[in-house]
A and B are shown apart, each in its own frame.
Chain A
Amino acid sequence: DGGITQSPKYLFRKEGQNVTLSCEQNLNHDAMYWYRQDPGQGLRLIYYSQIVNDFQKGDIAEGYSVSREKKESFPLTVTSAQKNPTAFYLCASSIAYWDHEQFFGPGTRLTVL
């Protein structure tokens, strides 16, 4: 089955710790994205990658970092510099950056204790 997976589904972190969220896709898509979703709100773009070894900041990149060493993987690190990290994190991919149709993973709910 082709798709996009995120792990873990639920993640708990102590304040001051960095944590890395996994995102993998086997759709052979070039572009990948990370969004943050807060309760009752829409999605906000954190980082995106048009192609392997490339990534760009989105609208709310502060306190986050990413890497894109492989086409199928786009991990997101939530650093201790992120002041309000508790949220639902969604990863997405598209065939290419010019394609507006994005396919989403199931999400990771991060809670900072």
Chain B
Amino acid sequence: GESVGLHLPTLSVQEGDNSIINCAYSNSASDYFIWYKQESGKGPQFIIDIRSNMDKRQGQRVTVLLNKTVKHLSLQIAATQPGDSAVYFCAENPSYNQGGKLIFGQGTELSVKP
């Protein structure tokens, strides 16, 4: 399954399938991009980040891809599990001088069907 964060805020996938969550960012000078997972009624949890000088970074069952040409970021989750159901936010760090000031996207809700 595939989703564009701002235009399709919900994504429903079958357990075991791969999920792709997309995000468009605004600032070509952003230095870091971060993905957060937020379960219902809880605070966001850091998943993975990628620096602007990288195209791809892998974590445990997750991969983040960065396409600076079109200012696009994606989060791929392999073998999606029911525990992956949550809202996923991308965030960008505008520049080094902005420090911790992050700009968050709208979020995409991932629903995993057993």
CB A44 to nearest CB in B, in angstroms, measures 8
CB B11 to nearest CB in A, in angstroms, measures 14
- B43 & A97 in contact (Cβ 8 Å cutoff): no
Stretch at the interface among B55-63, B64-72, B74-82, B100-108: B100-108
- Name A41's contact: one of B32, B96, B107 (CB within 8 Å): B107
Any chain A CB within 8 A of the CB of B7? no
- A98 & B99 in contact (Cβ 8 Å cutoff): yes
- B46 & A42 in contact (Cβ 8 Å cutoff): no
- A42 & B99 in contact (Cβ 8 Å cutoff): no
A48-B107 CB under 8 A given contacts A42-B89, A106-B43, A107-B42: no
- A99 & B104 in contact (Cβ 8 Å cutoff): no
- A94 & B100 in contact (Cβ 8 Å cutoff): yes
- A48 & B49 in contact (Cβ 8 Å cutoff): no
Interface size of B in residues (CB-CB distance below 8 Å): 23
CB A110 to nearest CB in B, in angstroms, measures 14
Give bound CA distance, A107 to B44, whole Å: 9
Give bound CA distance, A50 to B98, whole Å: 11
- A40 & B44 in contact (Cβ 8 Å cutoff): no
Give bound CA distance, A99 to B105, whole Å: 19
11 A-B residue pairs with CB within 8 Å:
A42-B106, A43-B89, A45-B102, A58-B101, A94-B100, A97-B99, A100-B49, A100-B100, A101-B49, A107-B42, A109-B41
List A residues at the B interface (Cβ < 8 Å). Answer: 6, 31, 33, 40-45, 48, 50, 58, 90, 92, 94, 96-107, 109
Known interface pairs A33-B100, A42-B105, A45-B102; 15 further A-B residue pairs with C-beta atoms within 8 A, sorted by A's residue number: A31-B100, A40-B107, A41-B106, A42-B107, A97-B100, A98-B99, A100-B49, A100-B93, A100-B100, A103-B46, A104-B36, A104-B43, A104-B44, A104-B45, A107-B43
